[in-house]
Amino acid sequence: MSVNVAKTKCTLFGCTESHPLTLQLDGERIGADRTPNLLGVTFQCLQGMATHAAETRRKMDFRLLQIAAISASTWGPRRQVLRAFYLALVQAHTMYGIEVWYWDASERSRDLLAAAQHKASRIIAGIPHGTRKEDSLLEANLLPLKTTTLVHSMKFMLMCESRGGCLRRSAEEVYHSKHPVRALHSRIMRSYHHLRIEPREQPLETSTLRHSCRPLFHTQIKPVCADDPDDVKREASEKWIARNFERRGKEPPRREHYELWTDGSVSLGEKSGAAALLYRNNTLICAPKTGAGELSCSYRVECVALEIGLQLLLKWLPAYRSTPSRLSIFSDSLSMLTALQTGPLAVTDPILRRLWRLLLQVQRRKVRIRLQLVFGYCGVKRNEVCDDMAKKAADLPQLRDTWIPDIIAYAKRVLRSEEVHENTHRFGVTGNHFPTKHKEELMKEEETARARFRVGSSRHYGWMLRKINPSVPPQCRWCNPQHAAIGPTIQTASTVATRTLQRTSEPAKCTECDATCQCRSSAVTHMVNKHGFVRAYALRRIKYGDATPAVDIPPEPPPVVAIVPLPSSTRVPMRPQVLHCTLCASKFAVPGRLLHHLQTIHGIGSGSCRVKRGRENEDSVQGDGRAPAAPASQDTRKLPFQCDLCEASFGTRSSLSLHKKFKHKSIVTKDGTVVLVQFPRKRAREGNVDATGERRGAVWCVPKSAQLQGLPHPTL
What is the structure's pLDDT at 153? 93
pLDDT at 118 over 90: yes
What is the structure's pLDDT at 620? 42
Q: pLDDT over 70 for what percent of the chain?
A: 69
pLDDT in tens, 235-262: 998 888 888 877 666 666 678 899 999 9
Cβ(594)–Cβ(611) below 8 Å? yes
Show the beta-strand stretches assigned E in 552-673.
579-580, 587-588, 641-642, 649-650, 666-668
Instruction: Please report, for the chain, the start and end positions of each structural domain, with discontinuous segments joined by +.
Output: 5-33, 36-199+402-419, 206-244+254-400, 425-483, 508-544
Go through 416-439 and write b for each residue having 16 or more CB atoms within 10 A of its CB, e for each that does not.
Answer: eeeeeeeebbbbbeeeeeebeeee
pLDDT at 287 over 50: yes
* Torsion, CA 246, CA 247, CA 250, CA 256, rounded to 10: -110
Asked if the bond preceding 223 is cis, omega within 30° of 0, the reply is yes
Q: How confident is the model at residue 500 (pLDDT cuts 50, 70, 90)?
A: very low
Under 8 Å CB-to-CB from 683, ≥6 apart: which residues?
Answer: 689, 693
Q: 110: closest CA among 144, 140, 81? A: 144
Considering 80-84, 196-200, 259-263, 322-326, the range whose residues carry the highest mean pLDDT is 259-263
What is the structure's pLDDT at 478? 54
What is the structure's pLDDT at 78? 86
Among the residue ranges 24-33, 50-59, 123-132, 325-334, the one predicted with the least confidence is: 24-33
pLDDT at 291 over 80: yes
pLDDT in tens, 576-591: 567 777 777 788 887 7
What is the structure's pLDDT at 713? 46
Among the residue ranges 249-258, 632-641, 643-652, the one predicted with the least confidence is: 632-641
What is the structure's pLDDT at 85? 92
| Domain covering 206-244+254-400, topology | Nucleotidyltransferase; domain 5 (3.30.420)
d(CA 641, CA 587): 28
What is the structure's pLDDT at 473? 57
Q: 118: closest CA among 136, 130, 97? A: 136
pLDDT in tens, 432-464: 555 555 667 778 888 888 888 787 776 555 555
pLDDT in tens, 519-535: 888 888 998 988 888 88
pLDDT in tens, 401-421: 888 988 998 898 888 888 766
pLDDT at 91 over 90: yes
d(CA 74, CA 445): 4
What is the structure's pLDDT at 475? 56
**Phi and psi for 543 in degrees, rounded to 5?**
-70, -50
> What residues are paired with 701 via a beta bridge?
675
What is the structure's pLDDT at 282? 87
d(CA 454, CA 438): 15
DSSP 238-291: HHHHHHHTS--SSSPPSS-EEEEEEEEEEETTTEEEEEEEEEESS-EEE--EEE
